[in-house]
């Protein structure tokens, strides 16, 4: 029986993997990964992505081997490698799970046509989302641009099925040549990943274990704890979801099976809904990875102050909650979502630096950097996206810190030079009297930087820039 090639990309799991499941039903399977970063256009994988990908593929290869299958690894043009593997193995079919990022969607449509021209059967499956982006539209047939009606429509028409079982493999006996995962050279040559390595365990087993912990231990208090960066109150499943080590369908069912009527569960699943909405937007408005959805912001007078940008990137703005977030990001490749909103507001509104600079930095440093979520999150923060935060809602980094990190635990963890400051001053050290600073071992401008801008003055400047924009 002719084997089926399963072209894996960002779906590195065995359970609830439609392409793998249906290919195994048809006979022998050749699981194939092709490393082709240039095909992702301007958003090729960054350093943190590559670190996670190395370990995710290594984990998948071990999982497949334990089930008498083998992960085939290639590097090069995806179409060329797919055709070569088909010729080498006599494969009759190619299956994969669909991607929705603009460059990859365009690529996959071209590859599908070329494979059919080569007399190969092609089947693609919906796996990355709960919904098909073409399926959910307004009554007028248009894409949604506001979350609440989008999510209401999704919930009314989308029936989330139970996850698929792990397939029973019929291993192909005629395997093609393969690289080792190490041959892709995804790991950094200078090891900057110690903090990431200590915090994360990539792979399907770790994803399922984290989901089990979250459902058992944290979800009932999620609604109260999710905005507190000082607490372990979020699922932290985002990097596993980004690499398809777990599916949204597994998360959805795992939560509802245990907590069908819980407020925390509903709140958490609405965050899965925001992920769906982000993909809905990037699918229907692919230009948003580079340009504002609200064209009014095309004329915004962004600053090109490279010194300010670098201080923000390095967590040296002088605002503790902002700097704690940026240092957490650099150390573990992840940042709490509430803090992501704070640092994004600070970059785009206090420093008036283009949201695209923030999106690029996050893309390179986040282990969970997801093009749809990253794009729409930054556009939302800047006020230029769908369902966006109004531009005049400018987060005050002091009040945000005091509200969501009330004891300063988060700031003290990531900014140890401020650890001895009393709670009263932990989010505004510039207000501390000299004797308090001295007894706390803090010299502003030396141990910890002076504020890069005055927030109230920056807010006034930002609002002036916004009010001078042309009206739509």
Question: Virtual CA dihedral for 353, 354, 359, 361, nearest 10 degrees?
Answer: -40
Instruction: Report how far Cα 436 is from the mean position of its chain's Cα atoms.
Output: 41
Nearest to 16 by CA among 155, 127, 169: 127
DSSP label of 66: T
Residues forming beta bridges with residue 165, ordered by sequence position:
none
Q: Radius of gyration over alpha carbons of the chain, in Å?
A: 24
Under 8 Å CB-to-CB from 306, ≥6 apart: which residues? none
Q: Compute the residue count for the chain.
A: 472
Tokens representing 181? 């995962």
**292-296 own/partner pairs: CB under 8 Å, 24+ apart:** 292/379, 292/382, 292/384, 292/385, 293/145, 293/379, 293/384, 293/385, 293/386, 293/388, 294/383, 294/384, 294/385, 294/388, 294/472, 295/472, 296/384, 296/469, 296/470, 296/471, 296/472
396 catalytic per annotation: no
3-class state of residue 390 by DSSP: coil
Task: Tell me how far apart the alpha carbons of residues 283 and 143 are, in angstroms, rounded to a whole number.
Answer: 10
Which residue is catalytic, options 271, 402, 417, 420? Answer: 271
Instruction: Report how far Cα 255 is from the mean position of its chain's Cα atoms.
Output: 20
Which residue is catalytic, options 166, 263, 274, 316? Answer: 274
151 catalytic per annotation: no
Residues forming beta bridges with residue 124, ordered by sequence position:
96
Task: Tell me how far apart the alpha carbons of residues 366 and 368 are, in angstroms, rounded to a whole number.
Answer: 5
252 catalytic per annotation: no
Neighbours of 233 (CB within 10 A): 20
Under 8 Å CB-to-CB from 209, ≥6 apart: which residues? none
Residues forming beta bridges with residue 30, ordered by sequence position:
5
Tokens representing 214? 């979250």
What is the side-by-side order of every strand in the sheet holding 121-125? 72-75, 29-35, 4-7, 93-97, 121-125
Contact 393, 341 (CB under 8 A): no
Which residue is catalytic, options 253, 305, 316, 337? Answer: 337
Under 8 Å CB-to-CB from 453, ≥6 apart: which residues? 308, 350, 351
Nearest to 373 by CA among 281, 284, 278: 278
Which residue is catalytic, options 35, 378, 380, 414? Answer: 378
Which residue is catalytic, options 7, 355, 380, 414? Answer: 355
Contact 72, 30 (CB under 8 A): yes
Instruction: Report how far Cα 288 is from the mean position of its chain's Cα atoms.
Output: 16
7 catalytic per annotation: no
Which residue is catalytic, options 258, 302, 305, 402? Answer: 302
Instruction: Give catalytic residue positions.
Output: 271, 274, 302, 337, 355, 378
């Amino acid at each position: 029986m002719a084997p089926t090639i399963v072209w894996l990309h960002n779906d590195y799991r065995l359970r609830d993997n439609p392409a793998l499941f249906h290919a195994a039903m048809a006979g022998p399977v050749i699981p194939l990964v092709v490393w082709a970063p240039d095909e992702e256009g301007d958003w090729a994988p960054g350093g943190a992505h590559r670190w996670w990908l190395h370990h995710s593929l290594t984990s998948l290869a071990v999982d497949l081997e334990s089930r008498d299958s083998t992960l085939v690894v290639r590097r090069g043009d995806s179409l060329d490698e797919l055709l070569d593997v088909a010729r080498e193995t006599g494969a009759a079919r190619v299956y994969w799970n669909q991607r929705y990022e603009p460059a990859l969607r365009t690529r996959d449509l071209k590859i599908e046509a070329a494979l059919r021209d080569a007399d190969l059967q092609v089947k693609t499956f919906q796996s990355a989302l709960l919904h098909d982006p073409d399926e959910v539209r307004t009554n007028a047939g248009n894409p949604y641009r506001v979350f609440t009606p989008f999510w209401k429509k999704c919930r009314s028409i989308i029936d989330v099925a139970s996850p698929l079982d792990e397939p029973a493999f019929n291993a192909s006996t005629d395997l093609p040549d393969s690289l080792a995962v190490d041959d892709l050279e995804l790991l950094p040559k200078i090891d900057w990943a110690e903090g990431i390595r200590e915090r994360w365990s990539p792979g399907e087993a770790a994803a399922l274990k984290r989901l089990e912990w979250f459902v058992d231990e944290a979800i009932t208090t999620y609604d109260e704890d999710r905005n507190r960066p000082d607490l372990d109150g979020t699922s932290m499943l985002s990097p596993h979801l980004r690499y398809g080590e777990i599916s949204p369908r597994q998360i959805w069912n795992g939560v509802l099976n245990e907590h069908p009527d819980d407020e925390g569960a509903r709140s958490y699943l609405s965050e899965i809904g925001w992920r769906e909405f982000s993909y809905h937007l990037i699918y229907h408005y692919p230009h948003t990875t580079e340009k504002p959805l609200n064209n009014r912001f095309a004329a915004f007078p962004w600053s090109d102050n490279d010194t300010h940008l670098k201080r923000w990137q390095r967590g040296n703005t002088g605002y503790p909650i902002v700097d704690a977030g940026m240092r957490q990001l650099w150390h573990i490749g992840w940042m709490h979502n509430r803090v992501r909103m704070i640092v994004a507001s600070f970059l785009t509104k206090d420093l008036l630096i283009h949201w695209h600079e923030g999106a690029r930095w996050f893309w390179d440093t986040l282990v969970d950097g997801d093009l749809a979520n990253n794009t729409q999150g930054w556009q939302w923060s800047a006020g230029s996206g769908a369902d966006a935060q109004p531009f005049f809602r400018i987060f005050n980094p002091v009040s945000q810190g005091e509200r969501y990190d009330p004891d300063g635990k988060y700031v003290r963890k990531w900014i140890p030079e401020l650890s001895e400051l009393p709670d009263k001053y932990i989010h505004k050290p510039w207000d501390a009297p000299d004797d308090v600073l001295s007894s706390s071992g803090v010299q502003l401008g030396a141990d910890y930087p002076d504020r890069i801008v005055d927030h109230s003055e920056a807010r006034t400047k930002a609002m002036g820039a916004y009010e001078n924009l042309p009206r739509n």
